[in-house]
Amino acid sequence: MALRNMVDKVKPTFEKGGKLESLHSTFDAFETFLFVPDRVTRKGGTHVKDAVDLKRLLIIVVLAMVPALLFGIWNLGQQHSIVFGLDWGFWQKVWYGFVRIIPLYLVSYIVGLGIEFVSAQLKGHEVSEGYLVSGFIIPLIVPVDVPWWMLAIAVAFAVIIGKEVFGGTGMNIWNPALLARAFLFFSYPSKMSGDTVWVGGLNKALAGGTPWKGGEVVDALSGATPLSHASLDGLSAAGTTPWNLFLGDIPGAVGETSVIAILIGALILLATGVASWKIMCSSVLGALLVGWLGNIGGVSDIPCWEMLLMGGFAFGTVFMATDPVTSAQTECGKWIYGFLIGALCITVRLFNPGYPEGMMLAILLMNTFAPLIDHYVVNANVKRRLKRAKTV
Amino acid sequence: MSDQIRLKKGLDLPIAGAAFCEVTTRVKPDLVAVRPTDFRGMVPRLLVKEGDSVKAGSPLFADKKCPAMVFCSPVSGVVEAVVRGEKRKLLAVVVKADGKDEAVHFDVSKVSSLDKKGMTGLLLESGLWPCLKQRPYGTVADPEATPKAIFISAMNTAPLGADPEFALKADVDAIQAGVNALGKLTQGGVHLSLGARNFAGSEFHRLTGVVFHQFEGPHPAGNVGVQINHISPINKGEVVWTVDLHLVAVIGRFMQKGVLDMRRIIAVAGPAAVNPSYAEVPAGVSMKQLTKYFGEGDIRIISGDVLSGEAVGPDGFLGFYHNQVSVLKEGHYYEMLGWANPIRGKKFSFSRAYPAFLCCKKKYDMDTNENGGERPFLVNDVYGKVLPMDIYPVQLFKACLAGDLDKMEQLGMYEVIEEDVALCEYVCPSKIEIQNIIRDGINLMMKEL
């Protein structure tokens, strides 16, 4: 194979003693991306190994997010054209979304992978593929108008403080993608919350006082996500039906609006067994329970099932709560962890009018407590073992 | 009546090249080796030198800590070589058979009236004591210890493993004699586990003086460690002994005849094996005498099974405890974008990330390629799916990595040895060497406790 010969030819340059030794990890990352390595099993271990590796598992997660991304790209153009009163066709909308999302991906991957490559080289490790997923999620959960330099800082924060200081992929406590979003949210709240950040170009137009076509339409729509008027009256006043919530043609972060696209992703993850069905299931149960309690308690008039369709709940449950590193590691712990995420998310929504989107904080909080949950689950096993010893 | 234990977790590896139920060779002893490295926790003291004549049953080396424990030559002949490694570590004593079949004779006329001490002495003297392994840690049993019970697995679920119902069907009487001898060593009884698949028709039902257990499920249900975990788990301070069934037969033959007869029927199998089938060989047989089973090209020859055996190479020898030789192709090749191939039909995966799980009857030509690079622990739920024990595997592995003795003890380190977690290593998407982690953990515990 010509490509293989080429790689073999340049390989010595990057090996120990070669001219570009300092780029060894980077070279290795690209080589193993192109070719499953020729390494064989070692002494003292199993002689055969399963075909699955992290690249395979993580590419499935990325694939599962593609429907949400594709829908989000179209929806960017859709929302923009509604607010600005533009009479765009399908491809125009897609092109608009595409042009807006690509820079975010470039920033996310260049900054994030850049840091990963450097730190892998410093530690003398191979580059871990973990950031492929985090980097894919980040543009899907931030406002499309976020300035690129802000995103770059947020990504750097998430990768360095959120991951590398703990020892890199597999050792982190918080989901890196959510950490980037939380960083943006707390550092630059004006770009992250409010009614106007979720439609591409709207904030800028408002700030600049630029007149735009169909300005009156905006009074009714105003670009706010349904969460900011989370009552049945509020929803119907904004003209949002549960069907809109399910389909996702509403303002919001790129990846989170379309429940149907997220469900396709969930099916892929569950069919391949990559994500834990226990976490997804228990998160939905927790959300339904609290939503139902809030409904009969008179806190909110929205039926509990509609809560599942709103905001970042679906995206968070399917793609972020199930992160194997930051979730609970024990099977029993997963039920508790997922349930609390769902319950907390809806609790925040019901009782905190100032900040209606509870999913980010619910997941980050439960990431923090996941080791504690595991500790008690594992301790039960330890106690069982000790008890067994005493009874004999 | 026996209790029936059904295990769901685990995996029967669909590897091609299973042995036909036919003994295709009876190997005459030529070169055999006894390797001190087969016995964990034993420090050898050499008793012979090159050129010495030995008989079957003559001691070759002894344990420094317990001088009565000797390791004997399985054949009569001349000591051909004393193989040493780094720091003069004794690796093997190689004996060249002379074909005279001379053996040391032991007095076995009164075995039925021996007590524990007498039986221990006889087994130690004859070099058969090392057949007994001890849990925790999988070391050679300590003759001074009082075991809770003795466990034997008459069920082999290891990939391509020798079927005891076939390989040992002629040895039921010998096994009975072996069981009788072992029964003198413990108050807790001799426990024998049978597979549920052929429970009713099993030859071993004829045995008396054993407690039967019935296990059903995929590998590692046949591992004695897993069975102990379900029958009577090992607690801190307890000791149990285990014996491989084919070694029970060896002990039994000795008790019947008074001479060491360590011939065994082994399975020679694997995707790179030619005419995979069974062979009758002396203990410690040289792989050079089995070459007719090995395929062409770059192959790996493993004493034991493909999950926890040892790669010994074409000049190596069969391990003391092994009754299987596996032959695999080496996996020195690059696979372009293999991880992205949606089908990748030639490779098996336990995960559902490949469609392999849809064709459940297919057998795979597995090789030794790692199928990926080593990464940190990331996926945490896969290990528990192949470890049918009440143990949290990831937590235990991490305790071993951290060298945290308290945690290791609390999380069940006494209950596992490498072979029990071998499947965890097989399925690990991060390609972590889990058996080595457990091995280091055991060595650390033996040193510190």
3-state secondary structure chain B: CCEEEECCCCCCCCECCCCCCCEEEECCCCEEEECHHHCCCCCEEECCCCCCEECECCEEEEECCCCCCEEECCCCEEEEEEEECHHHCEEEEEEEECCCCCECCCCCCCHHHCCHHHHHHHHHHHCCHHHEEEECCCEECCCCCCCCCEEEECCCCCCCCCCHHHHCHHHHHHHHHHHHHHHCCCCCCEEEEEECCCCCCCHHHHCCCEEEEEEECCCCCCCHHHHHHHHCCCCCCCCEEEEEHHHHHHHHHHHHHCCCCCCEEEEEECCCECCCEEEEECCCEEHHHHHHHECCCCEEEEECCCCCCEECCCCCECCCCCCEEEEEECCCCCEECHHHCCCCCCCCCCCCCCHHHHCCCCCECCECECCCCCCCCCCCCCHHHHCCCCCCHHHHHHHHHHCCHHHHHHCCHHHCCHHHHHHHHHHCCCCCCHHHHHHHHHHHHHHHC
User: How close does chain A come to B415, measured CA to CA in Å?
Assistant: 11
Closest-CA residue of chain A to B336: A35
Q: How sure is the predictor about B218, in pLDDT bands with cuts at 50, 70 and 90?
A: very high
* Contact across the interface for A39 and B380, Cβ inside 8 Å: no
* Closest residue in chain B to residue A168, using alpha carbons only: B376
Q: Which of residues 346-375 of B touch A (CB under 8 A)?
A: 347-354, 356, 366-375
pLDDT tens-digit readout, A286-339: 999 998 998 888 787 788 888 888 888 899 999 999 999 999 999 999 999 999
* Cβ-defined contact of A54 to B429 (cutoff 8 Å): yes
* pLDDT tens for each residue of B15-34: 999 999 999 999 999 999 99
B375·A170 Cβ contact <8 A: yes
Residues of chain A with Cβ-Cβ distance to B379 below 8 Å are 54, 57, 324
Residue B371: its chain A contacts at CB < 8 A? 36, 49-53
Q: State whether A170 and B233 contact (CB < 8 Å).
A: no
pLDDT of residue B311: 93
Q: What is the pLDDT of residue B266?
A: 95
Contact across the interface for B431 and A130, Cβ inside 8 Å:
no
Measured in angstroms, the CA of A359 and the nearest CA of chain B are apart by 23
Residues of B in contact with A384 (CB under 8 A): 390
| B433 touches A at CB < 8 Å | yes
Q: Write the pLDDT tens digit of every residue in B113-167.
A: 889 999 999 999 999 999 999 989 999 999 999 899 999 999 999 999 999 999 9
Task: Tell me the average pLDDT across B222-248.
Answer: 93
Contact A39 B429 (CB under 8 A): no
Average pLDDT over every residue of A373-378:
94
- For residue range A188-204, what is the model confidence (pLDDT) as tens digits? 877 776 666 777 777 66
Nearest to B373 among A37, A42, A382 (CB): A37
Q: Chain B: residue nearest A63 by CA?
A: B340
Q: How confident is the model at residue A218 (pLDDT cuts 50, 70, 90)?
A: very low
Cβ of A329 within 8 Å of Cβ of B380? The answer is yes
Q: Report the pLDDT value the prediction gives residue A220, as an integer from 0 to 100.
A: 42
